[in-house]
Amino acid sequence: MGAVAFLLKGYPRLSETFITREIHALEQRGLDVRIYSLRRPTDRARHPLHDKIRAVPRYLPEYLHREPLRVLRAWRQVSRRPGHRHAWRAFVRDLRRDFTRNRARRFGQALVLIAELDSDIKHLHAHFFHTPGSVARYASLLSGLPWSCSAHAKDIWTQGEGEMREKLKTCAWLVTCTRHNAEFLSRLQSRPGQVALVYHGLDTVQFAPPESESPSFAPQPPLPAPHAPPSTSQPALSTSQPPPRTLQLLSVGRAVPKKGHEVLLRALARIQDLDWRFTHIGGGPLLGQLRRRARRLGMARRIHWRGAQDSAAVLQAYRAADIFVLASCISGDGDRDGLPNVLLEAQSQRVACIATRVSGIPELIDHGETGLLVAQNDEAELARALRRLMGDAGLRARLAAAGFKKVRAEFPLERGIDRLMEKFGA
């Protein structure tokens, strides 16, 4: 087959390493990928993997009014194509249902995409079913090129079913990253077999097993337990016995409502009698609010907010953690996680995990076997799970070992890349 145009909402992005990893793996297999991004990058840092991608990103007009001549030139050129009438009618129907500036922007971006598309591109592929999917659909109608999509989480659950049915009528095929998503989308598909489950999978080279089964820890200054002073009636520890150390808790994820960080902070406030430090990695709009909340709960000195980090720093953080915790929830607008890659990554480093029973997470974590699961938005149950795991080193080791075994056996990146190469006909 010819080259494939990958439509991305923004590129490169620190929070979407799974897309970068997929593109790199597909390029390594020989797929000719061309990257077209709807937005320019906003992250200051880059993953080292971004520099290994051969495709040079090209950027469509993020705001049509800033590049009016480019859009008008594209419209004049594309309007002579036979598919323009069909695309325009579809756009007008959509605009009646969703009379927004964003809707017009997607059509304008599709016009520019087709006007500037490399002549050897034979297929369009959108990562995310909402905005990139809309641009890919219009572009397909304009050009006659087939299009496909990788659907993930927010792009499914914050989009109306009617809109998704319209897109599936013209979409050649769609893959999604959880069984939970696949079962839902299969009810909307236009023909049997249109929707397929393809897990993102773990890059077992980048996330190689740690050298030791026990995590390594940076030295930490002593931290007294504020609500549990040592009792004078207890016998002193033997000098031959190592003193108890501060347990390291970690969470990686953008500071957005669906990650449940507010609930996690309230759960941590319930276990301040224990000796722990918590590290959060990730940017996001709620970061300042979460910092203030931690200060009000009296936990500021126990928490290290590291912001967005590259993959090397994240890997180092996994290897320094005793427990990884992710309090995902379904937010008010329906947004939710799919199967968070950070859970696979943490388990690949033999870290015991606590997460919530949301979306595709139970497809990875078997409660009591490969991790602990709690109800979403339940700070009391989350606190109990943290207390249980912090107090039982044997349980931590058993869950970490079982999680490590499952993620490497059932979620390798190569398996998903094999499926995608088949889909692309390469």
Band of residue 44 on the pLDDT scale cut at 50, 70, 90:
confident
* Residue 419 shares a structural domain with residue 400: no
Structure tokens at 3: 């080259």
Question: Whole-prediction pTM value?
Answer: 0.86
pLDDT at 224 (0 to 100): 39
Question: pLDDT digit string (tens) for 65-77?
Answer: 999 999 999 999 9
Please state, as a whole number, how many other Cβ atoms lie within 10 Å of the Cβ of residue 70.
17
* Residue 418 shares a structural domain with residue 396: no
- Per the rule left: phi > 0, alpha: psi between -120 and 50, beta: everything else, 367 is beta
199 close to 404: Cβ distance less than 8 angstroms: no
Q: What percent of the chain lies above the pLDDT cut of 90?
A: 86
Amino acid at 124: L
User: What is the residue-averaged pLDDT of the chain?
Assistant: 92
Cis before 41 (ω within 30): no
* Residue 111 shares a structural domain with residue 100: yes
* Residue 21 shares a structural domain with residue 147: yes
Asked if the structure places residue 66 within a domain, the reply is yes
* Residue 299 shares a structural domain with residue 394: yes
Report the C-alpha gap between 413 and 407 in whole angstroms.
10
* Residue 417 shares a structural domain with residue 363: no
Question: pLDDT digit string (tens) for 240-291?
Answer: 445 568 999 999 999 999 999 999 999 999 999 999 999 999 999 999 999 9
| Cα 366–Cα 372–Cα 376 angle in degrees, nearest 5 | 105
Asked if the structure places residue 228 within a domain, the reply is no
Question: pLDDT digit string (tens) for 357-380?
Answer: 999 999 999 999 999 999 999 999
Question: pLDDT digit string (tens) for 143-156?
Answer: 999 999 999 999 99
Instruction: State in Å, rounded, how far the first CA of the chain is from the last one.
Output: 6
Band of residue 6 on the pLDDT scale cut at 50, 70, 90:
very high
* Residue 373 shares a structural domain with residue 418: no
Asked if the structure places residue 385 within a domain, the reply is yes
The CATH number given to whatever domain includes residue 278 is: 3.40.50.2000
Asked if the structure places residue 91 within a domain, the reply is yes
Residue-number span of the structural domain to which 383 is assigned: 247-410
Band of residue 212 on the pLDDT scale cut at 50, 70, 90:
low
Distance (Å) of CA 283 to CA 252, 260, 296, 333, 426: 10, 14, 21, 20, 37
Total structural domains within the chain: 2
* Residue 325 shares a structural domain with residue 360: yes
Asked if the structure places residue 291 within a domain, the reply is yes
Asked if the structure places residue 218 within a domain, the reply is no
Asked if the structure places residue 308 within a domain, the reply is yes
- Helix boundaries (H) for 99-220: 101-116, 131-143, 154-157, 161-170, 179-186
Asked if the structure places residue 209 within a domain, the reply is no
* Residue 154 shares a structural domain with residue 274: no
* Residue 187 shares a structural domain with residue 301: no
Please state, as a whole number, how many other Cβ atoms lie within 10 Å of the Cβ of residue 54.
11
* Residue 63 shares a structural domain with residue 180: yes
* Residue 265 shares a structural domain with residue 142: no
- Per the rule left: phi > 0, alpha: psi between -120 and 50, beta: everything else, 34 is beta
Residues 6+ apart with CB under 8 A from 95: 103, 104
